[in-house]
Amino acid sequence: MDFKQILESGYREVLCRYLEESSEAALYQGQMFSRKSIKQQISPEEIISIHCKVLKDLFPDISKEILDSFDFLIEFMMNYGLAYHEYQSLKDKQFEIKSEIEMAASIQEYFLETSIPKVDEVDIGAISVAAKKINGDFYRFVEDEKSISVAIADVIGKGIPAALCMTLIKYGMDSLPKSITKPNDVLGNLNRVAEKNLDSSMFITMFYGVYDFGNHTFTYAAAGHEQGFYYHAASQSFEDLTTRGMVLGVEQDITYEQFEKKVNPGDMIVMLSDGVTESRTENGFIERSIITDLIQTYMHLSAQEMVENIYRDIEKLQKYELRDDFTLIIFKRL
């Protein structure tokens, strides 16, 4: 007796027992039979075909319509099986991609991690929140005895390519000669690195500033980056931080313009990415005045508490759904 005959005989026995008893024991016997069939790689269509044959033997007077319905069921199960396997394959690929993205996000967080400096001369607060798993924004502090340098960058692009771009910029900054300290020179060097190594479809905006403790000046330059704010404590007024310069990675030989601000006690320097100014509500992009109003609301707090409260309020305005990466840094002279 070949295996198909053994299979048909076993199925007949299980089915007959269930039809006679309709018991849990009979159902359990059917489950055991199913497991054996799976081990022998018997397809669902073959089981249905055997079921149909057994019914014919057990009930010779069974109507033709019922038997024909099994032909339909066999065809249906074949198509269903193909669709199910395709669905499972897509789910597996989706899970694999998700795992890779989570790993990339973890590696990005490790490589780009930077601590917020604690100094007597200036209170510093910083927050950066990714809209998705991978953050397209990047910020970094470099501290020495005389000054603190701060960089904010935003990749025009998302996902893993954006994370790789940020890693490139981070190592470009780490590789700069110690003699290069002026913001415009820093951007010029990073632009050459980006132009040589980035794909033509990838660009980076960047803001780079240096706070000098000795004379309390803030010198800065920008490469196509979103304008921040400067708060004058004496007049209790805001002005935009003037910035001019092309994004990194477009042309090799670009000279960046440098600016300087004298920072008085109580003054604040507000640096951000376009994910802050381009936050959207039902009525469109928020006005820049909303950001300055929030700064005034929380300026009695520490700089870190300020940025965290401003983020929560803007997140609430967007119904807790960030549409772009959000980075906000505040320097407050003490």
H-helix or E-strand spanning residue 326? strand 326-333
Residue 110 binned pLDDT confidence (cut-offs 50, 70, 90): low
Range of the domain at 302: 116-333
- 131-189 confidence digits (pLDDT tens): 877 777 889 999 988 999 999 999 876 666 777 777 778 878 888 878 788 999 999 99
Question: Angle at which helices 64-112 and 159-174 pack, to 10 degrees?
Answer: 10
- 54-100 confidence digits (pLDDT tens): 888 888 888 888 888 888 877 777 777 777 778 888 888 888 777 76
The rounded distance, in Å, linking the Cα atoms of 308 and 116 is 14
The rounded distance, in Å, linking the Cα atoms of 111 and 174 is 12
The rounded distance, in Å, linking the Cα atoms of 57 and 34 is 21
User: How many other CB atoms sit within 10 Å of the CB of residue 171?
Assistant: 11
Q: Could you tell me if 176 and 307 lie in one domain?
A: yes
Q: What is the DSSP letter of 267?
A: -
Query: For residue 191, what are its two tokens?
Result: 């632009």
Position 110 in a domain: no
Q: Could you tell me if 17 and 134 lie in one domain?
A: no
Do residues 163 and 134 touch, judged by C-beta distance below 8 A?
A: yes
Position 95 in a domain: no
H-helix or E-strand spanning residue 284? strand 284-285
Do residues 102 and 163 touch, judged by C-beta distance below 8 A?
A: no
Dihedral of alpha carbons 271, 188, 210, 155, sign: positive
User: How many other CB atoms sit within 10 Å of the CB of residue 278?
Assistant: 14
Q: Could you tell me if 40 and 128 lie in one domain?
A: no
Q: Which residue has the tokens 């407050």?
A: 332
Q: Which residue has the tokens 């924004």?
A: 137
What is the chain's mean pLDDT, rounded? 86
Of 47-51, 78-82, 305-309, where does mean pLDDT reach its minimum? Answer: 78-82
- 225-269 confidence digits (pLDDT tens): 999 999 999 999 999 998 889 999 888 889 999 999 999 999 999
Q: Could you tell me if 199 and 318 lie in one domain?
A: yes
End-to-end C-alpha distance for the chain, whole angstroms:
94
Q: Could you tell me if 136 and 77 lie in one domain?
A: no
Pick the last residue of a domain from 88, 106, 124.
Answer: 88
The rounded distance, in Å, linking the Cα atoms of 295 and 301 is 10
Position 103 in a domain: no
Of 116-120, 161-165, 239-243, 316-320, where does mean pLDDT reach its minimum? Answer: 161-165
Q: Could you tell me if 136 and 44 lie in one domain?
A: no
H-helix or E-strand spanning residue 60? none
Position 101 in a domain: no
Alpha helices in the chain (DSSP H): 3-21, 24-39, 44-58, 64-112, 159-174, 183-197, 274-277, 288-298, 303-317
Q: Could you tell me if 151 and 267 lie in one domain?
A: yes
Mean pLDDT of 93-115: 72
Per-residue pLDDT, 104: 64
CATH of the domain at 21: 1.10.1240.30
The rounded distance, in Å, linking the Cα atoms of 323 and 129 is 11
Q: Which residue has the tokens 């048909």?
A: 8
